[in-house]
Amino acid sequence: MRITKLTTYRLAPRWMFLKIDTDEGISGWGEPVIEGKARSVEAAVHEFEPYLIGQDPSRINDLWQVMYRGGFYRGGAILMSAIAGIDQALWDIKGKALGAPVYELLGGLVRDKMKVYSWVGGDRPADVIRDIKRLREGGFDTFKMNGSEEMGLIDSARKVDQAVARIAEIREAFGHDIEFGIDFHGRIGAPMAKVMLKALEPYRPLFVEEPVLAEQDETYARLAEHTAIPLAAGERMYSRFEFKRVFQAGGLSIVQPDLSHAGGITECLKIASMAEAYDVALAPHCPLGPIALAACLQVDFVSHNAVLQEQSMGIHYNQGGELLDYVLNKEDFHIENGYIAPLPKPGLGVVVDEEKVIEASQRAPDWRNPLWRHEDGSVAEW
C-alpha cells in the first residue's frame, strides 16, 4: 500500500481534519491543529508531503521518525501538531487495513470504560451551578471549569477571594457528589499561585490545571510542596523530550498531553508510559473534535494510568460546530454515567461524514483566542 494524497479541511468551530488516501482505496483521518493557528499547521502538514507520498503507510514508526528527525529543526506547537494529525491518520489506515480498532493493535483493552468529564462555564464563568445541574442529568459527575479571570503577577486578596468564593459556592451546592478540576490557563504567576492554591485547598478540587505556564515548568515541583491539591499540566508540552523535564523535576500529579498537539498516538503512548513509571496519572487534553477524541481514547484504553478524558461536548469553544456534527456513527460516542465505551469500529473508530466536511470547509472561520489586557493596558494571559 502506498500513500497517494493528503487533503486538509479547516472547519468550524476551530478544527482541522486531514484525510490521507492510499492506492488501495483505504483512507485514514486525523486532526492536526493548534487552536488559532490552523493555517500554520495546515502549511506544515503539506510541507511533509514529499516525505509521505509514495511511502508505505504501515511503517508508522519510521514515518514518525522521518517527520520528526528528518527536517533537522523539530518540536514545538506547529510541527508536532502536524505530525500528530498525520500519525492519527496513519493509525486509522492501519486499523482499517487490518480490520481492528487501534487499541487492539496496541495490545488490547486495559479497562472496560473510560471516565470522561465535561467543561462547565466559559472563560468568564457565571451560572456554573445551573449548568452543573443540567449536565448531571446527562450523567456527568466530573467537571472542569476556569479558575479565574486575568490576574497580575502580584494581585489583590479581593481577586483571590472572588475566585475562591465561586469554588466554595459550587462545593457547598453539591457537596462531594461531584468532582471538579480547576483550569487556570497559566493566568496566575508563581507568586499568586502559591496564595491561590492555599486558599482553594479546603474545597478539595480534583486537580488544579496550569496554575502557571508550561514554560515555567520548574515551578511545579516547588508549588506541589506547598499544596495537597494534585497539579496538572501538559496541553502546552509537545513531546516526550519536554515531558521528561517535568517527570524528572516532579510536581505534576497528572499530565495532559494533547493527542493532536504532541505527536499523535505514537508519541503520546510513550509519554503515557513514562508517566506510569513516575506514578503520574494521564488525562489527555481534548477540547477539540471527534478524531482527536478518538485518538485520545485509543491511548486511554491501553494505558493503566489514564484516569480522565476531556471531551468537548457543549464546550464554550464549540461555536458553529458540535463534537459529533461530522460523525456518522454518533451512537458509538454515547456517554453513560460519565463513562464512554471503547469505540468498536476498525481504525480510530470514527466514520467521518466526508460530504459534510467538504461542504462545511468552504466557510470555515479563522478562530482566534481572545486577547486580554490588564487594567493598566498590558497584555494578560488568557
Ligand X SMILES: O=C(O)[C@H](O)[C@@H](O)[C@@H](O)[C@H](O)CO
Tell me the sheet residues that pair with 101.
347
Which residues from 210-239 bind ligand X, rule CB under 6 A?
235
Choosing from 35, 92, 267, 325, the residue that interacts with ligand X (CB under 6 A) is 35
Distance between CA atoms of 137 and 51, rounded to whole angstroms?
49
Residue whose CB is less far from Mg ion, 42 or 258: 258
Binding status of residue 31 toward ligand X by CB under 6 A: no
By a kind-dependent CB cut-off of 5 to 8 A, residue 287 interacts, out of Mg ion, ligand X, none, with ligand X
**Stretch near Mg ion under the rule CB under 5 A, chosen from 104-112, 175-183, 304-312, 360-368:** 175-183
Q: Which residues contact 326 (CB under 8 A, 6 or more apart)?
A: 11, 17, 289, 290, 352, 353, 356, 357, 360
| Binding string, residues 193-212; x marks residues near Mg ion by CB under 5 A | ----------------x---
Grid cell locating 67? 517527520
Active-site residue, 316 included: no
* Class of residue 265 by CB neighbours under 10 A (exposed 0-12, middle 13-18, buried 19+): buried
- DSSP, collapsed to helix, strand or coil, labels residue 312 as coil
- 235 marked as binding residue: yes
- Among 287, 289, 342, 349, which residue sits at the site for ligand X (rule: CB under 6 A)? 287
CB proximity list for 130: less than 8 A, separation 6 or greater: none
Q: Which helix (H) or strand (E) holds 50?
A: helix 49-52
Is 209 flagged in the annotation as binding? yes
CB of 140 to ligand X, least distance (A): 15
Catalytic residue flag (residue 334): no
Q: Which is nearer to Mg ion, 209 or 332 (CB)?
A: 209
Three-class SS state of 178 = coil
Give the 3-state secondary structure of residue 116. Answer: strand
Query: Would you count residue 183 as binding ligand X (CB under 6 A)?
Result: yes
Nearest position to Mg ion, beta carbon: 183
The residue type found at 333 is F
Please say whether the dihedral angle defined by the alpha carbons of residues 85, 91, 95 and 100, taken in this order, is positive or negative: negative
Cβ distance to ligand X smaller for residue 150 or 310 = 310
First CA to last CA distance, the chain = 45
- Find the part of the chain contacting Mg ion (CB under 5 A) among 86-94, 148-156, 176-184, 260-268: 176-184
Catalytic residues: 185, 285
Residue set of the binding site for Mg(2+): 183, 209, 235
Residues at the contact surface with ligand X, assessed by CB under 6 A: 35-36, 183, 185, 235, 285, 287, 310, 369
